[in-house]
Structure 1
């Protein structure tokens, strides 16, 4: 008989209630149904398969792409007294045999494996000998050929419904556009699965994207100095850049370590643990670091180089502010980054179709870089979500709008062209048609040709116009249809009188120029604006009055850190910063008042309540 999920949530994890949608997902899976869960980073996806695994009879088999991610979740479960283990290649044979014995004895609530281990014939045989509560597929965008972290071995998970038709499957991910969602469902044979989707919006995260200039290195230093003592990640495009950047930041006085695939496993592990435990403030890393990493107090993300796709950028920036408190991101891009990214795609081993997809995803990233409207709105539109507000008030464009010009003629030309020739061409074909006589597009009328000839624009400018149309929702890339572009309802509206604004700044990102955006940005000289929380945010990099909180909050943090050191666990396993912040504001005086703090359940009160109440009492006195 299944356990009560709320009882498990409270007794095992110390929470009194589920987050929005979590409870619905948990009950749906406990009842034996399949689910695809789309939640932003920090939204609580893992709890959607952890709780049902404990509640249902048998063991939850969780497929996870990285051993480091497994270990992070195992540490969390062990801390909360949940019986969980993993089987992976880093374990000794004796340790693996011990886990198998516990598995066969029915002693485990969750077992973590990689997709490669799952495909192993011996492991498949083992599955036939145990009771299985559910199959959980973490980072399920890896299943899809359109996903930005595609893993071929994930495709074998499509056999789950054939071999175990009565076992529920729950797939979770934080980043999936509509095409990727459809491909996940198809690949996992989950056509009848219910799709649960919360908003991808992370309103507590501030976004700033800037063209590189001679001032960029100093801007990064200023950005990091304003957050000294706080935790953050600097993502770089390659291993050499990681090493150089880490050394540069050390020379500037920051506590910094490097992380990339070229390091030994031991060095990577040591550096990751030092960052996770708060021994260093900044980790400089390639994308080899981060998927699913559960560090709640990351306050900033910096991308000195252009990310490979909008999904990658959104997942990486989403590692900040998981505790719900304010976090800042800063991203730079230039022509060299774009050329490097395109070369990486061209030289990659992917099929022609996958390379088309990668080019389209890179263009989507550039579209958000070049957009003239709210960046948050453009990002959410890419993920199939409508952002109702006209301004998010928490991205650089909304804080200080860019200069624009009327681009309706350019938009009409592209829309009319696609209406006439159909959605059988990609962005390269359209730019080629606009600028040359050798395009694949041969059937357009003379009126269409005249419209393009009347517009004085070069190839890189047309590329930018199309990207801005994509980010504004006038056009759509059909990833499942060779990356071809089609016109949306908003695009058709341009033909009926709707205006379209283009970025007035000359950002030449596809030429061989040495730098991008040499003309000063209209945003760079904008005055700083106070936020509601009292912080001051400049138009480019946000500089706060102080990275510290009240004296009581700092005392509560010190006590939390002391407890974590004594127990040898990550500090946010003890309690999150957001709960400490609420504690410092509400100043509970006893257990009944303390349990009213969000994130503080009875289990945490029993273990840590007296220590925190003593700190509050000292300050009250």
Structure 2
């Protein structure tokens, strides 16, 4: 009997094709396999979904996954179906299904085929579904995007609050909560609300060291600034977030008029258009998506190179989630936010009609985002501190990757002005909003000030040596350090806090931060870009990307599925000119080199010749022959017609690993006779059908074959037939 350990890695390899777990994944999977309540906090791009998908595939019964978005569920179901020969292995159960589809889902669950069932919380409430699920074998319940449970979260959904009771009614099973963003407050709330305070908690680091954070003042020329930035990053994929649908349409149009290949995405567009625009972005038929936050949930595009916020988000959680869609492959990711305090005031106005408790939460969240935008400290440190994580701003990974570190803001002593500000608020009986306080300071009267006779007071105009912008900025910075607070009940009225009162009695240094001033080159373009990686041949990179796009189109896959950016960059560093060299490139390996590599090495070889390039001489790694003993063993024992299962287990291999070894043998030109094993699996007609397919197919890709036969044959049968085909025809 194999140990659980090998089982775990075998399953990881079998289902997902990975040899190693990432970060905390292994510990989380073990916790779920041991039937323990589990809570996972893992940033976007950290491999969160594998944490519950793998144990669901390994355990008996069906795992219920509660998820807030239909598009997200559909993406995940498609992905799981893509790694399995059984279509029913994963299903969605929601309002989009008709009666016969619902019957199919139920039948697959009853027969034990379905391992993952994705549902929206609204569907679970339906008694017909709950009653059906009560009678089934449920392995565990996973709640994705668990921050939706907490009213302190950025995406609160009331229907999530009742999940504990709903789950209890279905079955007494382990509960797994997963979220990509959660402050201490949100975490406590989630654990309490789900009734899993005993859960094993796994929290990954929130630091994304490859992301560069930048906040620029938002002027009336913000669209021009965005166009300049996008044009400096031509050919790279990016997302521009706006708060309103109207603004999305406007910005997308402005970009298009300026020759940028951009498409809009928001909930007001019909589903067909949204799907089309999303696919265009994935397939690189457009460079930029201008979107409301409806876009990006569950979009697994690893090479988004920049995320621009035209409008500041409502909370730091939202900001973290949205910026987190950049650079998921570990490559460059520029997060640029345009900030104007007017936008914050607009968001505050939207909240004015909500219940007081909700307003308090909303204001607290807005205050954090103002603090972040206005801070002069290391932005990464500020962000990670918000998520309860310490960060060393000197030696931490990515410590210099933000505008405040690259281009420190100027500061000046402003303690006298803080005293003036706080005393004016006190002396006017704490009844004015920021605008009236500023008018009092600069000596600009209006009807409201006159009605209270404020314009006759001795302190009227004591700050007229400074501009209204200066005083507004100071008010914001004083709010951030909590000397002031905004009154919720009397919308936006400023009050001096206890800390503010003690500052007035005993003033100390207050260093006020000035906004960044940007250098512009002759064309007026803002210069604040990082240079590309050293030694990489940029011209070759763009040629390889063009070819990747063409190959992706031919294969019907997104370009990144051919080779990811880090692989393309490595090719432009090492100049591989044959498939063996290509297989040594970062993230390529034998299979990929054989599947897609021919045209790439041909292009590189011609480029090297035409440009008289001297290639690095340390690329070719000679084979050590470690596996030659195993290869000989396989050849001898297939000649002896030993069952393949026996060959695999005697060498401690999974069947998938044995097949991979046999593929390597026949690809290297050696014949293998496995007819005896195939005869046990497939009859003569079936073998002939698959043989004919490989004779006529443009590619010997297994996924293509699986699609062609639409579930008639599984992955193993097709791979064994491909080995026989290669052995008979090519060798």
Normalised by the length of structure 1, the TM-score is 0.78
1:464 is aligned, of 476, 501, 522, to: 476
Select which of 292, 296, 301 maps to 2:302.
Answer: 296
Q: 2:223, 2:254 within 8 Å by CA — same for their partners in 1?
A: no
CA distance in 1, matches of 2:27, 2:498: 36
Shift of 1:569: 4.0
Where in structure 2 are there 5+ consecutive unaligned residues?
A: 433-458, 487-494, 607-731
1:11 is paired with a residue of what secondary structure? Answer: helix
Deviates more, 1:109-118 or 1:165-174: 165-174
Give, in angstroms, the shift of residue 614 of structure 1. Answer: 2.9
Q: Which residue of 2 aligns with 1:577?
A: 565
Superposed, 1:437-448 pairs within 5 Å as 437-438=429-430
What is the aligned counterpart of 1:334 among 340, 343, 350? 340
The 5 A counterparts of 1:117-516 are 117-159=123-165, 162-163=168-169, 166-347=172-353, 350-390=354-394, 392-406=399-413, 436-438=428-430, 460-461=472-473, 463-469=475-481, 501-505=511-515
User: How far does residue 194 in structure 1 lie from its aligned partner after superposition?
Assistant: 1.6
Cα contact 2:225–2:526 (8 A) shared by 1? no
Shift of 1:130: 2.0
**1:486/1:178 Cα in 2 relative to 1: closer, same or farther (>3 Å)?**
farther
* Cα distance change of structure 1 residues 410 and 5 upon mapping to structure 2, 3 Å threshold: farther
Q: Distance in 1 between matches of 2:485 and 2:574?
A: 48
Unaligned runs of 5+ in 1: 415-429, 441-451, 478-483, 506-520, 528-537
Task: State which structure, 1 or 2, has the greater radius of gyration over its C-alpha atoms.
Answer: 2
- Please list the CA deviations of residues 359-411 of structure 1 after superposition, one character each: whole Å capped at 9, or x if unmatched: 11111111111001111111111111111124821111110000112467899
Distance between the aligned counterparts of 1:154 and 1:410, measured in 2? 47
The aligned residue for residue 594 of structure 2 is 610
On the 8 A contact 1:259/1:283 being kept in 2, the answer is yes
Q: By how many angstroms is 1:545 displaced?
A: 5.9
Identify if the C-alpha distance between structure 1 residues 403 and 569 changes in structure 2 by more than 3 Å, giving closer, same or farther.
Answer: same
Please state how far the C-alpha of 1:566 moved relative to its aligned partner: 4.5
How many Å separate the matches in 2 of 1:553 and 1:343? 48
Which residue is 2:659 aligned to?
none
3-state SS of the aligned residue for 1:315? helix
- The offset of 1:460, in angstroms, is 4.0
Q: Specify the SS of the correspondent of 2:162.
A: helix
Contact conserved, 1:141 with 1:147, CA < 8 A, in 2?
Answer: yes
**CA shift at 1:35, angstroms?**
1.5
Q: CA deviation at 1:431?
A: 10
Aligned partners of 1:434 and 1:462 also within 8 Å? no
SS in 1 for 2:393: coil
Change (3 A) 1:34 1:410: farther
Relative distance call for 1:142 and 1:591 in structure 2 (3 A) is farther
Q: In the comparison of the two structures, how many residue pairs are matched?
A: 553
Cα separation, 1, equivalents of 2:221 and 2:323: 22
Alignment RMSD, CA only? 4.0
Task: State the shift of 1:21 in Å.
Answer: 1.0
| Secondary structure, aligned partner of 1:183 | helix
Pick which of 13-22 and 578-587 moved more. 578-587
Q: What SS class does the counterpart of residue 331 from structure 2 fall into?
A: coil
Q: Secondary structure at the match of 2:247?
A: helix
Q: How far does residue 302 in structure 1 lie from its aligned partner after superposition? A: 0.9
Any idea what SS the aligned residue of 1:46 has? helix
Q: Against the structure 1 CA distance between its residues 600 and 63, is the aligned structure 2 distance closer, same or farther, given a 3 Å change threshold?
A: farther
Over 3 Å counting, the alpha-carbon distance change for 1:114 and 1:600 in structure 2 is farther
Is the 2:262–2:286 Cα contact (8 Å) retained in structure 1?
Answer: yes
Q: 1:169/1:331 Cα in 2 relative to 1: closer, same or farther (>3 Å)?
A: same
Distance 2:166 2:72 in 1: 22
- For residues 274 and 329 of structure 2, the distance between their equivalents in structure 1, rounded to whole angstroms, comes to 25
Task: Pick the aligned partner of 2:75 from 72, 76, 90.
Answer: 72
2:519 equivalent among 496, 514, 525: 525
The answer to which structure has the higher helix fraction is: 2
Question: What residue in structure 2 maps to residue 424 of structure 1?
Answer: none
Structure 1 CA distance for aligned equivalents of residues 160 and 350 of structure 2: 23
**Structure-2 separation of matches of 1:311 and 1:317:** 10
SS at match of 2:27: helix
Q: 1:32 deviation in Å?
A: 1.0
Residues 406 and 499 in structure 1, CA contact (< 8 A), matched pair in contact too: yes
Shift of 1:179: 0.6
Q: Give the Å deviation of 1:18.
A: 0.8
TM-score normalised to structure 2 length: 0.67
**Contact map agreement 2:191 2:197 (CA 8 A) in 1:** yes
Which residue number corresponds to residue 88 of structure 1? 94
Q: Which residue of 1 aligns with 2:24?
A: 21
Deviation, structure 1 residue 323 = 0.9
Assess, with a 3 A threshold, how the Cα gap between structure 1 residues 265 and 208 changes in structure 2: closer, same or farther.
Answer: same
Asked if 1 retains the 8 angstrom alpha-carbon contact of 2:430 and 2:496, the reply is: no
Change (3 A) 1:117 1:556: farther
| 1:4 aligned counterpart, secondary structure | helix
Cα distance change on mapping 1:546 and 1:25 into 2, 3 Å: closer
Q: CA deviation at 1:240?
A: 0.9
